[in-house]
Structure 1
Amino acid sequence: MGKLKFGVAPVVYPSIFLILLISFLNFHFHFLSFFPTNLVHHKQISIEEELSRARAAILEAGRSHSYIFNNNHKYFIPRGSIYRNPHAFHQSYVEMEKRFKVWVYREGEPPLFHLAPFKNIYSTEGHVIDELHHSTMAAPHPDDAHAFLLPVSVTNIVHYLYHPHGDFHPTRIGNILQDYVTILANKYPYWNRSSGADHFFVSCHDWGPYATAQNAKLFKNLIRVLCNANVSEGFKPVRDVTLPEINVPSSALNQPDLNHSKSILGFFAGGAHGAIREALLSHWKDKDKDLQVHEYLPKNISYLDLMSRAKYCLCPSGYEVASPRLVESMHVGCVPVIISEGYPPPFSDVLDWSTFSIHIPARRIPEIKNILEGIAAEEYEEKHKRVLEVRRHFVINRPARHYDVLNMVFHSVWLRRLNVRLHL
């Protein structure tokens, strides 16, 4: 393995400061600590000092419940109950836009590296990777970077290396990422000095977690930005990031924003993919006019139109935990009903999902109608209003705009980088 090292052991503390600060305003600093093995350049000392100042500013904003305004943020300031701590979130976001720099490694050739889909269900993978190649957040030199992107595309690996051969064993994905990191670790000091804790990769493919599963020791500190964010399969919310799954249409960046009158209690249409959907269809398929659950719709019926006429949109897991219906429902003004196990929704560090969504455990699928009918009209109206507020954070813009989905993903990575302190 050349210079690749496994002996730099982090000290893991009982709580993760900044994520918990945004969520619960915990006033104590706790960090994942890493000890570099080589002499660190003066610029890295400056970066760590800069991060320390950012932490202090976020803490002060959270404690004092105050906003620091600047010209870039006058047009939108996060407020209200959809945020766990809007003051701390706002300050953290301001600090990110002011400071955060990401180095995208140049090694690797398309289509397996630097390129991923911009359309279809895996599109957020492509847009995040591509945006970081062109964003003002891109570091001009790796010594200026706070974090490092491994620009590998699991979606394209599956498409180009698996589909032509009919070979669906996931080993190849892990080998590619491990070999790539080996090259980088032999060429640069950045991976070894943090054991990968300031590095991240992005995948919206169901097989994304397989990229690190083969060598858990090597990748134990890597920030994984995944659509398939399954806690029961090793996803760690304090280290990893839930990537929203957005099915980008061929003709636009986003589904249209709709908000029709609500004549349907609940709606779902989709195939019997996985145990949760099988249970949902078995119990409710085409059996109730108020809770409309369908396997597939006739071609002359609009999926989005029906969804926009429902008060609640059922978002069950498929073969994996994520569902594009979560974002689709918000675009059409429908309160999402999450039916999933072990899935931390996107941006839960800063968003309080209980204020604009419903979570129903899979075991309570037979009770769905009773549960939804038992929600008071006033509570529904509040949740519906908040859905219309929060959906701005789930819109794709190119280039990215303030507080949109791409910048929310970058903010999630920024929070996790703030939770790493390199001892210099």
Structure 2
Amino acid sequence: MDEKGEIMYGMNCWWRGIGWSWCACRWRGSSSATKLFIFMLPLILVAAFASVKPSTTVCRWGFNIPTCSFSLPPPPPPHPHPSNSSLQSNETETVNIVSKPWLNSSAPVNESYEPQPSPRQWQKKKRKVSNLDRTEAVLAQARSAIRDARNENQTQDSDYVPAGPMYWNAKTFHRSYLEMEKQFKVFVYEEGEPPIFHNGPCKSIYSMEGNFIHAIEMNEQFRTRDPEKAHVFFLPFSVVMMVRFVYERDSRDFGPIKKTVTDYINLIADRYPYWNRSHGADHFMLACHDWGPETSLSLPYLRKNSIRALCNANTSEGFEAAKDVSFPEINLQTGSIEGFLGGPSASRRSILAFFAGGVHGPIRPVLLEHWENKEEDMEVHKYLPKSVSYYGMLRRSKFCLCPSGYEVASPRVVEAIYTGCVPVLISDHYVPPFSDVLNWKTFSVELSVKDIPRLKDILISISPRQGRHQYAAKCKSDIFNCLRAKSFKCVGNFTTLELCKRLRKDDDGPELDYKVSYVPDSLFLD
């Protein structure tokens, strides 16, 4: 078994979690969930790396160093003025003699001459090339490769080439992924003890927190133990575990959680130079709990500068599409997706639209008011009878309704795609996962709350020629193919519906309402 195969084999523990307890792993067995989540790790890293915020005082990727590109040296300086005391030294005469050829036209033409660099040039010449400079030079080469990929018809990757309207720009996305595989490194701070740090739930609606923490800490391809080689730095705390072990139940007091995060960042800032170097701009956190955004308010730089991978990607609560990462919410009740994938074609589905769930938040009551038990082919319920299979209903439905609850995110989005159902996103402030890579309009329906009364008419008006059913089915089929494939890259690229983001700037698709001015068009592009 090769190295990647061993990683796939070993990561099976992520899907065999033990609920709220630590996700202790056993190196045994294999599952489709293992292979699927292995790709989630690098694409989260793509999103995190591509989200590093630029500024006028740091280079493109947030590193606090001088300009990341070098220009040609300036022209020779004019003859120094006699009153310039800074040049009146024992070397003044030598400097003047050397400078005569460009000031005195009568100088012999056969006289050899090499102008001495100015003090500023000497400073540049003597400047030691740092590790960050070397990193930026490598990234510049990657940027060039991604630009060239836009016009290429073929790729050097023989395993898989993403294609189709589901991607805003499949070629640049693919090249970004390949460049990431070759170069991208993340440093995980080792400070902190479980259960708050280096730990998270592997089951439940918040399972992606624990799965990602364990994935990044076990992955030797992207994780580096040398912080000088890192592109980004991961803060390995779990908001879910802090809510359980630090927060006082029903107190509504976020103080203990914020203090825990503040103390941790102060600790790493005291031990390492990297947080202070970029003011947190090359650091990232991940949270699937609803209180993830609130937790990021613990420190101003954590909220303002750092990359936040959030399931609760709510623009009305400060989510920034240019900096943050919308992370998919997946409810792994058993820690596995075995038996989760698959469903018949749209022509064999008898239900037009389906929803079942609690009356949470402001949107679902409106949905139930208009459509609960109103139409035979509109299966809208609060809760299903125990004798009715929830996933069976998903597989029988053409459209699966995904209204926001207390917060904007819903695991129904991923559940719909897994079962080949077209997700209908009903929200006013939700940024779907990785919208800068995926053209969600090609395989989903995006509606606002005001569209709920016309829901059935809207869904009926969507012609099969528009391809949403076909593309949703293709997503499902692609996942199946990847789970059977041995290729790490194949698994990775096909699951972009879960964990990939912001590889687009000047795309060919329509402008998105939530898109802001700065969105890199790929991982390494300017």
TM-score, normalising length: structure 2: 0.68
Structure 1 residues 217 and 201: alpha-carbon distance in aligned structure 2, compared to 1, 3 A threshold? closer
CA distance, structure 2, for counterparts of residue 129 and residue 40 of structure 1: 36
> 2:424–2:444: 8 Å Cα contact kept in structure 1?
yes
What is the DSSP-based 3-state SS (H/G/I as helix, E as strand, rest coil) of the residue aligned with 2:380?
A: strand
Over the residues paired in the alignment, what is the CA RMSD in angstroms? 3.1
What is the DSSP-based 3-state SS (H/G/I as helix, E as strand, rest coil) of the residue aligned with 1:314?
A: strand
Counterpart of 1:25? none
Counterpart of 1:12? none
Matches within 5 A, 1:90-101: 90-101=174-185
Matches within 5 A, 1:4-403: 31=60, 35-36=64-65, 42-62=130-150, 64-70=151-157, 74-135=158-219, 136-162=221-247, 165-250=249-334, 252-253=336-337, 256-260=340-344, 261-379=348-466, 382-391=467-476, 392=478, 401-403=491-493
> 1:264–1:311: 8 Å Cα contact kept in structure 2?
yes
Structure 1 residues 158 and 405: alpha-carbon distance in aligned structure 2, compared to 1, 3 A threshold? farther
What is the DSSP-based 3-state SS (H/G/I as helix, E as strand, rest coil) of the residue aligned with 1:225?
A: strand
Aligned-pair CA distance for 1:418: 4.9
CA distance, structure 2, for counterparts of residue 125 and residue 254 of structure 1: 20
Aligned-pair CA distance for 1:377: 3.1
CA distance, structure 1, for counterparts of residue 320 and residue 181 of structure 2: 25
CA distance, structure 1, for counterparts of residue 171 and residue 524 of structure 2: 19
> 1:356–1:384: 8 Å Cα contact kept in structure 2?
yes
Aligned-pair CA distance for 1:32: 6.6
Aligned-pair CA distance for 1:170: 2.2
> 1:264–1:292: 8 Å Cα contact kept in structure 2?
yes
CA distance, structure 1, for counterparts of residue 182 and residue 176 of structure 2: 10
Q: Give the AA of the match of 1:297.
A: L
CA distance, structure 2, for counterparts of residue 304 and residue 346 of structure 1: 22
> 2:434–2:497: 8 Å Cα contact kept in structure 1?
no
Aligned-pair CA distance for 1:172: 2.5
Could you tell me which runs of 5 or more consecutive residues in structure 1 were left unpaired when the two chains were aligned. 1-17, 23-29
Structure 1 residues 80 and 280: alpha-carbon distance in aligned structure 2, compared to 1, 3 A threshold? same
Structure 1 residues 269 and 396: alpha-carbon distance in aligned structure 2, compared to 1, 3 A threshold? farther
Aligned-pair CA distance for 1:148: 0.6
CA distance, structure 1, for counterparts of residue 263 and residue 470 of structure 2: 48
Residues 284-326 of structure 1: per-residue CA shift (max 9 Å, x gap): 1122111110000000000110111111000000000000000
CA distance, structure 1, for counterparts of residue 260 and residue 500 of structure 2: 24
Aligned pair count reads 387
Q: Give the AA of the match of 1:376.
A: S
CA distance, structure 1, for counterparts of residue 289 and residue 495 of structure 2: 18
What is the DSSP-based 3-state SS (H/G/I as helix, E as strand, rest coil) of the residue aligned with 2:303?
A: coil
Counterpart of 1:27? none
What is the DSSP-based 3-state SS (H/G/I as helix, E as strand, rest coil) of the residue aligned with 1:229?
A: coil
Structure 1 residues 335 and 105: alpha-carbon distance in aligned structure 2, compared to 1, 3 A threshold? same
Aligned-pair CA distance for 1:139: 0.8
TM-score, normalising length: structure 1: 0.83
> 2:403–2:426: 8 Å Cα contact kept in structure 1?
yes
Residues 116-152 of structure 1: per-residue CA shift (max 9 Å, x gap): 1111111111111111101111113111111110001
CA distance, structure 1, for counterparts of residue 493 and residue 433 of structure 2: 14
Identity %: 42
Deviates more, 1:47-56 or 1:362-371: 47-56
Could you tell me which runs of 5 or more consecutive residues in structure 2 were left unpaired when the two chains were aligned. 1-45, 51-58, 67-126, 505-518
What is the DSSP-based 3-state SS (H/G/I as helix, E as strand, rest coil) of the residue aligned with 2:299?
A: coil
CA distance, structure 2, for counterparts of residue 376 and residue 229 of structure 1: 30
Question: Whose radius of gyration is greater, 1 or 2?
Answer: 2
Counterpart of 2:499? 409
> 1:113–1:152: 8 Å Cα contact kept in structure 2?
yes
Residues 256-293 of structure 1: per-residue CA shift (max 9 Å, x gap): 11213210100000010000011111111122111110
Aligned-pair CA distance for 1:200: 0.4
